Structure 1
Amino acid sequence: MTGNRSQLTAGATLLATLLAAAAPARAQVVTAGPDSAVVSTPPVTDASRRTAKLFGIAMTEPSKAGLLAVMLPGAGQIYNRKFWKLPLVYGAIGGTLYGEFFYQSRYKEYLTALDDFANKRKPSGPNAAQIRDSSYAVRGLRVYRTQRDVFIAYSALAYSLTVLDAVVDAHLKDFDISDDLGLQWQPTLIWMPTAAVTPGLSLTLTLNNTRSRRPLK
């Protein structure tokens, strides 16, 4: 009798294990208390997120967009089909790079003029007439060096923003933004620990992420 009971217990344990392994979703308690609910949360694997390829390597679309934007400014926006952003990308990066090169050229010109004054030579260059003496050259060096460093920071910021924009766009483009977003409302009862059960209204908004159903690119 004891042996049969042990066999039944082992069989029930094995059956429960197989059912748990075969279940496509996991049960999770959302809240605690009388109004607690148990919902199914299907596991999300890394393979389901890798819906794009770059150089034969499977990766997520945001990762691909970010890497393309790092390798070539604007490539991430092209991948996301946001062509209207290209003038903004190249305008921001081109404008900051132009400022950086402009102040760098002026800085080098004043540095050369300062060296000319130290060696008793007459300064040469497009703005040589404005550089009256060595003290003026030193002040110019400080001004143009500061402006050059500021535009280097601007260039890095503009480049980083273009990469961030590509990654964010890739994250958002897979969500359903059609007219029907699955908004539902229905009467419900709200349970509050410090008050009686109160009638209320329940709103449910469902956003569909279609990334796992997209083919590899």
Structure 2
Amino acid sequence: MKIKTLISTGLFLLFFSAISIAQEDSLAVEQLGEVRDSINLDEDYEPYNALAPAKAAFYSAILPGLGQAYNGQYWKIPIAYIGLGIGVYFYINNDDQYNRYRDAYKDRLAGREDEFLGRISTDRLINAQEFYQRNKEISILVTAGIYILNIIDANVTAHLQQFNVNEDLSFKPKMNYDVLTGKPNYGMSLNYNF
């Protein structure tokens, strides 16, 4: 008799616990539906696009400034081209000066008159060639660096554009005064609203 009572009591408890769990689940589903209905999504909301940064970097690698155009930051395009143009200008200028001093040095070694007509010694011609050669190499490095920064900028900007930045995520400092002394209380608090 005790075994039947224990089995029937166990089945009774199991049955009612299953009913209560089902009721809790249905309440949770109803509450979730209410929460979904209460969320207002902006009309311009776009889902996360994992390939946007890669696309922006690829576009900037193909044509400098194209990744910035893809991100909608058109004001950065002239900056990229000015930086690249300055690097190319200094490369061409240093190359012309290098060739000028190199030709003068070759003419001097061959025994011909050079454009400097003895005003500059042979050692100074060699030093000038080395100086302009080094400046040419630096110009190439600067131009390549600006090109790489262009690609990195497009990639990082595409990453950062997908973050939610609105007024709820702002920092608002507040000064509290001591009521008794009238002096400010210094401290910091972090308030996070859901």
What TM-score, normalized to structure 2?
0.59
Counting matched residue pairs gives: 131
Aligned to 1:78: 69
Identify, as 1 or 2, the structure richer in strand.
1
Aligned to 1:62: 53
The CA deviation at 1:78 is 0.7
2:131 matched to 1:110?
no
CA distance in structure 2 between the partners assigned to 1:100 and 1:151 by the alignment: 5
Mapped to 2, the partners of 1:89 and 1:107 lie a distance apart of 27
The whole-number CA distance in structure 2 between the counterparts of 1:81 and 1:117 is: 57
Please name the residue that 1:35 is paired with.
none
Counterpart Cα distance in 2 of 1:175 and 1:164: 18
Distance 1:169 1:107, change over 3 A: same
1:176 pairs with 140, 164, 167, which one? 164
Q: Give unpaired runs (5+ residues) of structure 2.
A: 1-46, 172-188
Question: Corresponding residue for 1:142?
Answer: 130
Match of 1:122 among 113, 121, 144: 113
1:174 positional shift: 1.5
Letter of the structure 1 residue corresponding to residue 104 of structure 2: A
Q: Distance in 2 between matches of 1:129 and 1:72?
A: 46
Q: 1:137 to 1:173 in 2, by over 3 A?
A: same
Question: Partner amino acid for 1:118?
Answer: L
Aligned residue for 1:83, secondary structure, equals coil
Deviation track 1:41-71 (CA, whole Å, cap 9, x = no partner) reads xxxxxxx96x4xxxxxxx7000000011111
Larger relative helix fraction: 2
Query: Aligned Cα RMSD in Å?
Result: 2.6
Q: Which has the larger radius of gyration?
A: 2
Flag the 1:96–1:159 CA change in 2: closer, same or farther, 3 A: same
1:139-193 superposed Cα distances (whole Å, 9 cap, x missing partner): 110111111111111111111111110000000111222223499xxxxxxxxxx
Moved over 6 A (4+): none
* Distance (Å, rounded) in 2 between the aligned partners of 1:182 and 1:148: 48
Partner of 1:100: 91
Q: Alpha-carbon deviation of 1:94?
A: 0.9
1:82 is paired with a residue whose SS is coil
Aligned-partner Cα distance in 1 for 2:146–2:121 = 37
Hey, what's the Cα distance between the residues in 2 that align with 1:134 and 1:117?
8
Note if contact 1:114-1:138 (Cα within 8 Å) is conserved in structure 2: yes
Deviations 1:108-138 (A, max 9, x none): 12111111111112225xxx56963422211
Tell me the percent identity: 27
- The CA distance in 1 between the partners of 2:117 and 2:63, in whole Å, is 41
Q: What displacement does 1:91 show? A: 1.2
Question: Structure 1 length as normaliser, TM-score?
Answer: 0.53
- 2:149 pairs with 1:158: no
- The partner residue of 2:82 within 85, 88, 91 is 91
Query: Relative contact order, CA 8 A, sep 6+: which one is greater?
Result: 2
Indicate how the Cα distance of structure 1 residues 116 and 61 shifts in structure 2: closer, same or farther if over 3 A, else same. same
